[in-house]
Amino acid sequence: MQLAKHSKERSDALVIFGVTGDLAFKKIFPALYAMAKRGALDVPVIGVASSKLSVEKIRERATNSIKELGDIDDPRALAHLLSLLSYVSGNYNDQDTFTALKQALGECRRPAHYLAIPPALFETMIKGLGASGLAEHARVIVEKPFGRDLASAQELNRITRAVFPEDAIFRIDHFLGKEAIMNILYFRFANSFLEPIWNRNYVSSVQLTLSESFGVESRGTFYETAGCLRDVIQNHLFQIVALLAMEPPTYRGYGAVHGQTADVFHAMRPLKPDDLVRGQYEGYREEAGVARDSDVETFCALRLFIDSWRWEGVPWYIRSGKFLAGTVGEVIVQLKPPPQRLFADSAPADGPANYLRFRLSPSSAVALAARVKRVGKEFVGDQRELYLIDEHPGEESPYERLLGDAMAGNGALFIRQDAVEAAWAVVDPVLNDHPPVVTYPRHGWGPEQSNALIAPDGRWHNPVPGKA
């Protein structure tokens, strides 16, 4: 199939496939409303789905979505968004649907097609866009997951690249649009004091925790097909690891950043079964849509190594799970203690030595833990945090930022094909060959076995959910 011709001009329409789904309701409509408030939305928005609804019903659904977030504080912006919104109903397997879409686009020639649909439909949709001529000069925005394993990711990339050039493909991982995640990249390379210690000579280990205080809720059927390793770690958390571990980009440009993050994935040592602890919260098998003998993990902890000059021998400990002690995300970069203990408490037995802490959610902060002497004659001290908070009221939401960037052709916060496949190659060996799940109680920090995993290098730093 002929590759679509691609323009660097801004998209002149946004097409949302799956406009009646949960993703559109919870994330996309609020993002479009925020864009309208900023004056950043001035192109037609065409929803496509199989539901036989009127455009008035779609506009009502968009309004209800925005109301769920709070009061509608800018009626003119809402009216503007609704005036841009139209709807095409049809079966995704029917070429008539794409014909109707082409008619709805009218004079628009550079649409951005957002596939907010189940991954099983990606192939059908992409081939339909290509066969109908709707890929010409267009962009495609693809929601994760990008495959279920290495082989399916390679196949999805092959199908997509047969229709769209790589620079017209925008693979969304909304984590990369979060202000706190972007701050990791900025903090690393905007401050010269960090680089001399950001390596195996000074860093003893790195921990990354992303926890949720709730369960799978109504997503049991989906979770049975995914699990924590696929749903969170292979994409979201690996992307954070890449930003922390990457080498300095060689030039100012997102292509340089993408090259360095892909190199991190290539340097990751493929996982083995003993690098992994899989847990399942009590009562998961009673959730709707879940098999009564399910072995799907709702918690996963793993030990990862990056075989590069900078990080050789430094263990990276990653964990995520549902029904844990709080909804919070945090990184701890643990530094080695001083080489000579001039003071008895300079490497405390009851806690970690100096560390750098990135709070990712629900608030954003950076903290450096350093020891300071207590008042008095004795050379004893306490570890205190030098604390920087980076919260900005009214900042762009991840979907608002990413939608705007994709329509503008800015690929800085999106994922490249080689990075997707390299990340899958790391977890591929343990997707089927892994230890069975162990049950853990709700509202703790997961199964005890995860503590044994990290024990050779210390213990988990359990973030305090309500305190940044």
Other beta carbons within 10 angstroms of residue 195's beta carbon come to: 11
pLDDT attached to residue 353: 79
Residue 33 is encoded by which pair of tokens? 């409303």
Of 319, 348, 345, 350, the residue nearest 332 (C-alpha): 319
Query: CB count, 10 Å around CB of 309?
Result: 9
- By C-alpha distance, which of 333, 362, 406 is closest to 184? 333
CA gyration radius for the chain? 24
Average pLDDT over residues 307-330: 96
Instruction: Tell me the CATH number at 121.
Output: 3.40.50.720
The pLDDT tens digits of the residues spanning 406-447 come to 999 988 888 888 999 999 999 999 999 999 999 999 999 999
State the maximum Cα–Cα separation within the chain, in Å, rounded to a whole number: 85
196 preceded by a cis bond (ω within 30 of 0): no
Report yes or no on 320 lying in a domain.
Answer: yes
- Number of domains comprising the chain: 2
CATH number, domain containing residue 223: 3.30.360.10
Residues 296, 346: one domain? yes
Indicate if 134 and 201 belong to the same structural domain: no
Catalytic residue among 6, 113, 174, 236: 236
CA distance 175 to 332: 18
Half-sphere exposure of 276 (CA within 13 A, CB side): 25
* Least confident window among 88-92, 250-254, 396-400: 250-254
Q: Does 415 fall in a domain?
A: no
- Parallel, antiparallel, or unpaired for β 276-281 and 111-115? unpaired
pLDDT digits (tens, 9 = 90+) for 208-255: 999 999 999 888 888 998 899 998 999 899 999 999 999 998 877 777
Which of these three, 172, 187, 211, is where a domain ends?
172
pLDDT digits (tens, 9 = 90+) for 43-75: 999 999 999 999 999 999 999 999 987 778 899
The question of whether 113 is a catalytic residue gets the answer no
Task: Dig out the tokens for 292 from the structure.
Answer: 């009564």
Residues sharing a CB contact under 8 Å with residue 279, sequence separation 6 or more, in sequence order: 297, 298, 299, 300, 301, 321, 437, 438, 439, 440, 446, 447, 449, 450
Nearest-angstrom CA–CA distance, 297 and 294: 9
Give the domain extent around 256: 176-395+429-457
Does the model's pTM come out above 0.85?
yes
In terms of domains, do 164 and 292 share one?
Answer: no
Residue that is last in its domain, among 172, 193, 228 = 172
Report the amino acid identity of residue 122: F
